Amino acid sequence: MMVGGNIDGVTRVMTTAIVLETGKGNLPLALGLGIVLLTLVMLINAGAYLVGEVTRMPNK
């Protein structure tokens, strides 16, 4: 857990929070966090893809 970024009361990454909440039996919160994490990942990937496409376009 320490490697995952779980310094007690100071830090917690989303993946660690999902695991901890699942372990506590708080599945709705864990699923919500998972959906937020997947949404962020998809937005970042879409942004990176668009930036790559724009940079590959020939200049007129």
- What are the structural domain ranges in the chain? 14-56
pLDDT digits (tens, 9 = 90+) for 12-22: 888 888 988 99
pTM, rounded to two decimals: 0.76
Q: Please, what is the angle between helix 27-56 and helix 14-24, to 10°?
A: 160
| CA 45 to each of CA 1, 31, 33: distance values in angstroms, whole numbers, following the listed order | 27, 21, 18
Q: For 7-58, how does the pLDDT look when each residue is reduced to its tens digit (9 = 90+)?
A: 777 778 888 889 889 999 999 999 999 999 999 999 999 999 999 999 988 7
Q: How far is CA 23 from CA 18, 19, 30, in A?
A: 9, 6, 9
pLDDT at 4 over 70: no
Structure-token pair, residue 41: 């990942």
